[in-house]
Amino acid sequence: MAEEIVGIMTRISGGYLFLKRNLDDFEGGKFNCPAGHIEKGETAVEAACRELKEETGIVAAPSELTHVDIFLDEIKGIEFRVHLFAYANDELDLSKIKLLPEEHCDKIVIGTDALENNMALVRTDSPALVFTKIDYRVMITYLKRIEGLLSESSKDRMIDARKTTAASRSAV
């Protein structure tokens, strides 16, 4: 039976956030997006919000996360069922990200253009930028879709904010 996990592709300050796993941890020394196991009694979106807060300090409501897909993958003989989410807050920058020191030792933001145009380079050619197999798959398979979903979600939030502002003005 596959282990249920979440991954959250997190866009901040115009790029995507990746965390470097501690060397003594599973997939140690590799970068991954914020991610973790779904705990008993938790929904996938609840787990995604919890993991995002634990691993980065980012507090997001379930409505701020966009569901992307569910897929199966395997690392080192362990099968994972990955619930993939996307989150964007372009006002946040890397200095605001608080690492969970028990799990991660470094953090980087990589721009969308760099990810799309330099996949071969990003994968394994630079020892400093080695990603987990699952994260590499997410970047190759889902990045354009995630960008589209986050763009749609951002437009929807702007429309909702305008409606709320208009409604509060007319109520006065």
pTM, two decimal places: 0.83
Give the tens place of pLDDT for each residue, 82-95.
999 999 998 998 99
In sequence order, the 6+-apart residues with CB closer than 8 A to the CB of 109 are 12, 13, 14, 15, 16, 17, 18, 93, 94
Task: Quote the pLDDT of residue 75.
Answer: 87
Whole-angstrom distance, CA of residue 68 vs CA of residue 146: 7
CATH number of the CATH domain containing 100? 3.90.79.10
- Domain housing 69: 3-171
In sequence order, the 6+-apart residues with CB closer than 8 A to the CB of 152 are none
**How many independent structural domains does the chain possess?**
1
Task: Quote the pLDDT of residue 137.
Answer: 86
Residue that the structure tokens 């509060």 belong to: 168
Give the tens place of pLDDT for each residue, 46-83.
999 999 999 999 999 999 999 999 999 988 899 999 99
Percent of the chain with pLDDT over 70: 80
- Give the range among 4-13, 55-64, 98-107, 126-135 with minimum mean pLDDT: 126-135
